[in-house]
Structure formats: structure tokens, C-alpha cells
Amino acid sequence: MNTITSVSDFEALFMLPFQPKKVIYSLNSEFFRKGNAICNIDVPQFAVDFHDEDRFQSLPEFPCCEMGCRATFSNVRDYEIHFRSVHSFVCSECKRTFLTYNMLDTHIQEKHDSYHQAARAKNLAKFDCFVKGCKCTYDTLEERDAHVINDHNFPPNFKYRPLKKAEKFEAMDVSEEGLTKSNLPTSSRRKPYVPSNVCFGRGSARTFSKKAVKKSNTEITMKELGDAL
């Protein structure tokens, strides 16, 4: 056994022939398994309207809490829909936003996986259904779109296509192409007021009484997609 007698001998132990290399993992990779289990990442999250009276109450305009997002809101309901639809599932590579965890995972595989890109160039790529639990695979995007419409009750005009980047704050897209889009209000001046009853993310408790409210076309579309998934 060699004896370490100097600082140079100690440093030599760490001089390995290592070359840094960027590696992109699938969201379902074993690398993230323990973290996903702790964070309950597999639990579906959708913008669901609970008709809570206080969530529809008009409030002084307040901004989104995400750094860099300039969207502003006048009630808690609009804020929660915005947060769950725009900030929950964002690709770290291209900053595109998706409605569900599985859609984001499919995007990473099809857009940022070099193996899939090479297979696609040779017309050998397969396109998996992004609905959780479905194992169907198709040769083209059009076939997969028809599958989710016919078999999973997606809206008839649904198309799985990435939209604008999440950092584009004005008129953010909160749905896939083919779904109804909502243009979020913007403001050049951010106000410090944030209502105390704002809640978002996993495990948010509902504590207000329910009140029926007429749904808009956007809410109906989001509910249809949530039911389909």
C-alpha cells in the first residue's frame, strides 16, 4: 500500500479520468423514484373548480407568486387555475408548460431524447399514449391523437403539440393546442398585497362553503380533460 506523504499524493487520489457529460433522465427514471415517492408526484393535479364562495370573491389585484411571472389576479379561483396549469409541469430544458405529469414526461422523451430523435429520423420512432396506465403505442402523432380522442374521451379537436414557452408571460397558454386558451391579465406594476386565504399545490384543504357558479367555456374544457385523464 502506498503511503501518503504529501499534499500532492493526496490530490493524486482524486485525479480520475472523468469527463463531465450532460445526461437527461426520463421523469419515470429510477433516478427520481425515491424523490417522486416523497413528493407524491404521481398524484394527478388538475384545475378543478370547487365552487367555494370565498374563492370567487373579488379582491384587490395581486400577482402570481412565481419569480418572473407577471400575471395578476382579482380572485383566488383564477390564481389557482393559473398556478396548476402553468407552473406545475414545466420542462426544465425548453421551459414549455404542460397540463399533466405524463404529458411532460412524453415531451421530454420525444423532444430531448437523442435516441428517440435518431429513431424518428429513420421513421422507426414509436409514440406512446400519455394517459396514465395506458400502454398503447402508435407509429404517428395523428394516430395517437385519434386514440386519446376516441378511447380516452379527450375533446374532438385535441392535438398534442407543445405551445409557447412558460417564460412568455403575456397571454400565457394554459392548455394544449386545440383546447380553449385563456389570456391571463398582466400588469406592469406588481402590488405587494397577497390575500391570506390563497392556497395552491398539493394537500390544500378546502374550508369554505360551496356555491354553484355558472361555468365558462374554459372551465368546461378543463373539466372535460380532467375527467378524461
- What local confidence, expressed as pLDDT, does residue 18 receive? 62
Q: Which residues of 20-54 are buried (b: 16+ CB within 10 A; e: fewer)?
A: eeeeeeebbeeeeeeeeeeeeeeeebbbebeebee
Decide if 116 contacts 110 (C-beta within 8 A): yes
For the entire predicted model, the pTM comes to 0.40
167 band by pLDDT with thresholds 50, 70 and 90: very low
Decide if 70 contacts 169 (C-beta within 8 A): yes
- What local confidence, expressed as pLDDT, does residue 90 receive? 80
Q: Which helix (H) or strand (E) holds 207?
A: none
Mean pLDDT of 143-172: 69
- Supply the mean pLDDT for the chain: 69
183 or 223, higher pLDDT: 223
Q: In which residue are the cell numbers 393559473 written?
A: 82
| Cell (9 digits) for 83 | 398556478
Residues ≥6 apart with Cβ < 8 Å to 80: 47, 55, 199, 200
Amino acid at site 197: N
pLDDT in tens, 70-86: 888 888 888 888 877 77
pLDDT in tens, 21-67: 777 877 778 888 888 888 777 776 666 555 566 666 777 888 887 77
Angle, CA 61 vertex, CA 189 and CA 207 arms, to 5°: 145
- In whole angstroms, give the CA distance from residue 153 to residue 226: 10
